[in-house]
Each structure stands twice: as structure tokens, then as C-alpha cells.
Homo-oligomer: A and B are copies of this chain.
Amino acid sequence: METSVKFEDLTKEFEDVVAVDHLNLKIEKGEFFALLGPSGCGKTTTLRLIAGLEQPTEGKIFLNNEDVSSYPPKERDVAMVFQDYALYPHMTISENIGYPLKVRGVAKEDRQERIKEAAENLQIGELLDRRPSQLSGGQQQRVSVARALVHEPSVFLFDEPLSNLDARLRIEARTFLRHLQKELGITTIYVTHDQSEALALADRIAIMEAGQARQVDAAQKVYHEPADTFVANFVGSPPMNLLQCRVNMEGETPILETENNTISFTNLENRLQRLKERDELILGIRPEDMDLTLNVDQDEQLTGLVGEIYAVETLGAQVLFSVKIGNSMIRVREMSSEKVSQLAVGDDVSVEINEDRVLYYDAEDKALIN
């Protein structure tokens, strides 16, 4: 596939902070690509480097195979949508959308036509004579996308464009953006700190921390196989449970000892190799891959993970249990049901793990063990 954007050792330093640290990435033509990470991870700086609003300290940026590292913004053929929409309050919607064309000296009739086309694409054709202050947040957001669209850039840059919308509108705008991007097929780079937004929108996601990409993969893969514990802990709501444990070999059978429990898995063959040679591991288990059972008989000697329910929270059709096991807290998500509704705070429970879904991370470098 054709490459649309490429970084080679892209680095940006601000006084004493390295915001982007030797980043190497390729983004395909037509791809919806998300830069995801906590604040200060360098994702916005990366976007601004692509736009030319910042100059790289080191490294190169290629757009459509051309080295644009030293080009000013206007020569890069990109369009940017800002978090605050950046609409000019004294211009009408039509003037706002047409501004990039006006600056580039497009003739008035031609301009009018392209404004109309962009506005219809965004379903805001009837708002053209209003001013930004007369529009709702969702409509303003669409106007800012229309303005980016109108000069037919080869790359779209989005800087947290949905974060000023309320929860309901955000979901609607998300669906709309996802649909629009697939329809137009314009390469899109999307910065967000919201993992659910990145999962929902992007074809591929780069999860960033401290200026580096921890994982670059498709949304499903990022969710189901986080490359390290940072990603595992950042993606998912609530995030993956991470359990520190020691490996104890009883002959050929590995036993995992956690703080005050032992776990042994039945289906051993495929795990044996990766468990055998290590002393310490971190288990990663998503909350939906576990199940709770009430311990009726308190005297019985229990195996597996046992603990006490710390809190019960309703999540719509599901219920989230926080279970205190020694000093760690495990979160278990269950579909609400007759059985589940009987579990209450303070109950002693066993946690069953869906063995096939367990991931193993190295206790040293925190990376996924394959």
C-alpha cells in the first residue's frame, strides 16, 4: 500500500523536555490513524510537527514520499482541526469554511461552490449564513471539519476534536467522523487521550508515552494483546487487571503464586515454555474474562483466587465488581443476571479465570511474552 506519512527518527526537544523521541512510523494512504496517550506523552507535538507548526529538532517527516521537514505549514497540503474548533467569531459559517480558499486566492464563484459542497458533506448546508456563536457545539465541530475539508488536503490532522462535546454528542460525532473518513478515504491522523475514542475510530493506533510509541497496531489487537503493561493499563475501561506472581515448578507443572493464593492452569502445553524459565511474571486478565462465585462454606480450603467484594457498580447491562485479594484489587465485569445480583459488598468470593485469555508479561521489562 502507498505510504502517506512517514517519520524517520523524528525528535522534538523543548528546553529541558524531550517531547518526541526518535519516533519512526509509517501511515498508509487512506488510513485512519490514532495517536493515543496520556497528557504530556508527545502526541500533540507529533501532530504539530506534521502540520509544520513546530520544527523538529532532529529527524525527518515525509508526506507522500516527499521530505517536508523544512517546509512551512502552507506548503504541506495538510488541514488541521483543533480542539476548540478555531472558528472566527466575526465571520459567517460560509466565510469560515471558505477562508482557506480565500487566502489561496480562489475566485469567488468557485469558492461558493466548494463551500456548498463541503457543507453538504457535513450536513450543515442550512447554517451557512449564521455565525459560530449561533451554533451548538456539535454544529461548530462540523463547521471546523468542513473548513478542513474544503481545501482537499492529502492529510487530515485532528487534535482532540471531540473533547469539547458532551457525552451524548461525542458518540454521535464519533460515528459520523468514522463514516465520513471511510467515505472520503483521506488519510487521517487523530490525536486523543481517550482510549475508547481511539479504539472506536482508528484503523490503527500508536500508543505513546514519553515521546515514544509503545505499540502500533490495529484497534482489536491493541485491546486483546497489549504489547506491554503500560498499554494494558491504559486501554480498556476499566483497564486490564495486572497480577504480580512467582512461578514455582512442581516437576513439569508450573504453579503461579500470587500474594496469598496459588493458581494452576489445566491446559498446560502451550504455556509451559514461557513460564518455565522465569521466576516472576505479571498476569494480564481483562475484567470480562473472569467470573465470580460465592463461597458458601467459609471453612472449606479454597484454591484459586479468593477475596472479598469491595464495591459493586452497575454499568448498564453489566455489573462491575471490585474484589480485594490481599493488597491487590481485581476488577471483574459480569453480565447482570439473577446470580450476579445476589453478590454484595463484603461477600467472600472465588475468582475464576478464563484461562485462554490470560496474557503473560515479563516482570522486568513489562513486555508481553509470546
Contact = CB atoms under 8 A, between A and B. Distances in A.
Contacts of A199: 313-316
B314 A200 contact: yes
A312 B315 CA distance: 22
Interface in A219-250: 219-220, 223, 234-239
A175 B223 contact: no
A171 B320 CA distance: 11
A310 B236 contact: no
A260 interface: no
Contact of A311 (B168, B178, B234, B239): B178
B239 A200 contact: no
Identical chains bound together, number: 2
Contacts of A312: 178
A166 interface: yes
A238 B170 CA distance: 10
Interface of A: 38-39, 166-168, 171, 174-176, 178-179, 182, 193-196, 199-201, 219-220, 223, 234-239, 286, 288, 310-317, 320, 322, 329, 336, 341, 345
B179 A167 contact: no
Given A200-B320, A238-B171, A316-B236, A179 B223 contact: no
A316 B223 contact: yes
Contacts of A316: 196, 199, 223, 235-237, 286
26 contacts: A38-B166, A167-B194, A167-B237, A171-B238, A175-B310, A175-B311, A175-B313, A175-B329, A178-B311, A178-B312, A178-B313, A179-B310, A179-B311, A182-B345, A199-B314, A199-B315, A199-B316, A200-B314, A201-B313, A220-B314, A223-B317, A235-B316, A236-B316, A237-B316, A286-B316, A286-B317
A310 to B, nearest CB: 5
